[in-house]
Structure 1
Amino acid sequence: MRIGELCAKAELPRDTVRYYERQGLLEKIPQPNASNNYKVYSAVDLQRLKMIKHAKMLGFTLAEIADVLNIWVEDRFSVEQKRASLQRKLAQIDEKEAALTALRAGIVQALNKVGQPCDDAF
């Protein structure tokens, strides 16, 4: 598929997809014909873009996303290294989840106190 179709399916602007390419988050797509500038993207590229978009929505940085993608794709990592690295990433996600849960509880508590007299004395 060409970039327009890819962007439509991923619901991302072309500039974003091109930026991700420059950052190495997508594999370099060779141009099949030197006479035009059309690149052909695969379903794997679409899946990768959707994962990147979802991870960004959850607050992950592009560097964090790139780490996971590199570990998964690179053949230089052994199965054990991939597992260990992905386990570390899961632990980080669990930490973020706990922090978000605590933050949510604080916001709910503040919301419940809105409009009530302030009785939080020293």
Structure 2
Amino acid sequence: MRIGELCAKAGVPRDTVRYYERQGLLEQASQPNGSNNYKVYSAVDLQRLKMIKHAKMLGFTLSEIAEVLAVWVDSQFSVEQKKASLQRKLVQIEEKERALAELRVGIINALNKVGQPCDDAF
């Protein structure tokens, strides 16, 4: 698929795809016909793009996302190293989940107090 179709399916602008390619988050798409500049993207590219978009939505930085992608695709890492790296990322996600749950409770508490007189003592 060409970049327009990829962007439509992933819900991202073309500039985002190009930026991710420059940053190494997406592999450079092939140009099967050397006489034009059209790049061809695969279903794997679409899947990776959707994963990046989802991870960003959840608050992960591009650097954090790049770490996971690098370990996943790098053949120099053993299976054990890949598992250990992904396990560390899973622990980070669980920590974020706990922090978000605490934040949620605080926001609900604040929401319930809206419009009431402030009588909290310091």
Give the TM-score band, short-chain normalised: over 0.9
Deviation at 1:30, TM superposition (A): 2.6
Match of 1:101 in 2: 101
If the length of structure 2 is used for normalisation, what is the TM-score? 0.97
Instruction: Please state if 1:3 is matched with 2:40.
Output: no
The AA in structure 2 aligned to 1:43 is A
Deviation at 1:83, TM superposition (A): 0.3
Instruction: Please state if 1:20 is matched with 2:12.
Output: no
Match of 2:90 in 1: 90
Match of 1:54 in 2: 54
CA displacement 1:71-116 (0-9 Å, x = unmatched) = 1111010000000000000000011111111111111101111111
Match of 2:33 in 1: 33
Moved over 6 A (4+): none
Match of 1:119 in 2: 119
Task: Give the Cα–Cα distance (whole angstroms) in 1 for the partners of residues 36 and 107 of structure 2.
Answer: 54
If the length of structure 1 is used for normalisation, what is the TM-score? 0.97
Question: SS of the residue aligned with 1:83?
Answer: helix
Task: Give the Cα–Cα distance (whole angstroms) in 2 for the partners of residues 43 and 75 of structure 1.
Answer: 21
Task: Give the Cα–Cα distance (whole angstroms) in 1 for the partners of residues 42 and 98 of structure 2.
Answer: 36
How many residue pairs align between the two structures?
122
* Unpaired stretches in structure 1, ≥5 consecutive residues: none
Deviation at 1:53, TM superposition (A): 0.4
* Unpaired stretches in structure 2, ≥5 consecutive residues: none
Question: SS of the residue aligned with 2:92?
Answer: helix
- Conserved in 1, the CA contact under 8 Å of 2:52 and 2:65? yes
Percent identity for Structure 1 against Structure 2: 82
The AA in structure 1 aligned to 2:12 is L
